[in-house]
Copies of this chain bind each other. A is one copy, B any other.
Amino acid sequence: MRAPDCVTEKKQLTDDRRSDRVTIKDLALDLGISVSSVSRAFQPDSRISDSSRALVLRRAAELGYKANPFARGLVGRKTKIVGVLVSRISSSFYSEILNLVANRLSKDNITLMLVAGEHVHEIHDGLDMLMAYDPIALLVISSFASADSIAHSPSAREKIIYVHRTPADRDTLALAYDNFAAGEKVAEYLVGLGHQRLAYLSSGLESSSDQERSEGFSAFCAAHGLAAPHIIRSSGFSYEHGAAAAGEVVERLAEIDAVFCAADMLALGLLDAVRHGFGIQVPRQLSIVGCDDIAMTSWPSHSLTTLHLPRETIVNEIVRLIEDMSENRRPGNKLIRLACGGIVVRGSTGPKAA
């Protein structure tokens, strides 16, 4: 693992960066073979004898040779980059996913290129920046509504994988849980508990997952002869938004037995606010159900019943899609539906009080 003891003349450049970097040429010179042979040694299926490949690979490891990704990118080979466009990484669910994906891809020598932006033009610019690096794929993890239409160029459209949202535009790749079924499951569970006057707390944003959950929830009610759920609209997905909705919920407590929230954060905010702000007994006076199953829901201080979304399946799908795309296999399915998990019963739900 020592430094190359071969040619070092041209290494004396003033430029600090490339001075210590061993190139393919150094390797070739060192081994007394041509650069093309060295290059071939790193190409999976190229005409090169096993012996010389082994030789090159060994010496490369010794000298610490690493192919220059810029040179590779320039000649047009596929990169080892996956772009990620996020609006708020700090969202607990997304950051969990991102963490897992990053971990998995790191093992394949793939790096994530992250661009964050909240506004439309930021998203646009971010996409351009990422596209310039010719990524294998482009993960769009953003609840931002206009994210649907971000892909101006067809080449971008082909690379995008929407995560956890279904695009309006049906010919782009997307990954989403079966949110409709999630809504149904929760409704079924609550009805099973004896509740009949259900409510749904929506983010109020144009989010496909929110909308689908709401629809599934309503559909179950309709199919079982129950009154349509009372829809409460907030204006975001945060804890604070949930807390802010508490007033309206409490006001209508006479007409509401149980409320299903579009996401856990909303549910936690609502739960805390009705309990601590209004002195409501949960679940005696009101049952509350969340969705996602983020870590905080299991904390004894909250103990929120919620619908679990299996992280593994979505992470596996993401990784699989990326691997496919990196081999130029454009995956067939356009919208991939992932089964949602079951209901995790905790302390925020109970049978209807007599």
A9 CB–B CB distance under 8 Å = no
The stretch that binds B, out of A35-43, A113-121, A206-214, A284-292, is A113-121
* Chain B residues within an 8 Å CB radius of A276: 300-301
A window 32-83: CB within 8 A of B: 66-74, 76, 80-81
Sorting the interface of chain A by its residue count into under 10, 10 to 19, 20 to 34 or 35 or more gives 35 or more
Interface status of A346 (Cβ within 8 A of chain B):
no
Total copies of the chain: 2
Whether A323 sits at the interface, judged by CB under 8 Å, is no
Cα-based distance from A192 to B68 in the complex (angstroms): 59
- C-alpha spacing A128/B76, complex, angstroms: 22
- Report the nearest B residue to A17, measured CB to CB: B134
A224 CB to closest chain B CB (Å) equals 34
Query: Is the CB of A20 closer than 8 A to any CB of chain B?
Result: yes
Does A103 belong to the interface (CB within 8 Å)?
A: yes
Report chain B residues within 8 Å CB of A95. Answer: 89-90, 95
Q: With A and B bound together, what is the CA distance between A88 and B17 in angstroms? A: 30
Per-residue contact bits, chain A 97-137, to B (CB 8 Å; 1 contact, 0 not): 01100110011010111111110001001101110111000
Contact A299 B118 (CB under 8 A): no
A109 close to B89 (CB less than 8 A): no
User: CA–CA, A272 to B295, complex, Å?
Assistant: 14
- Contact status A92-B89, CB under 8 Å: no
Contact B76 A73 (CB under 8 A): no
A29 CB within 8 Å of chain B: no
Judge if A277 is at the interface, Cβ distance under 8 Å: yes
B-chain residues with CB within 8 Å of residue A189 when the two chains form the complex: none
Among A74, A86, A153, chain B packs the most CB atoms within 10 A around the CB of: A74
- In the complex, what residue of chain B is closest to A19 when comparing beta carbons? B155
Binding site for B on A (CB under 8 A): 15-18, 20, 66-74, 76, 80-81, 84, 86, 88-90, 92, 95-96, 98-99, 102-103, 106-107, 109, 111-118, 122, 125-126, 128-130, 132-134, 153-155, 239, 268, 271-273, 275-277, 295-296, 299-302
Instruction: Beyond A70-B74, A84-B114, A89-B95, list 18 extra A-B contacts (CB 8 Å).
Output: A17-B155, A20-B153, A69-B73, A69-B132, A71-B74, A86-B102, A103-B116, A106-B117, A106-B122, A109-B125, A109-B129, A111-B115, A111-B129, A239-B299, A272-B300, A272-B301, A275-B301, A296-B296
CB pairs A–B below 8 angstroms (10 shown): A15-B76, A20-B154, A68-B74, A73-B73, A89-B95, A106-B115, A111-B133, A114-B114, A271-B301, A275-B300
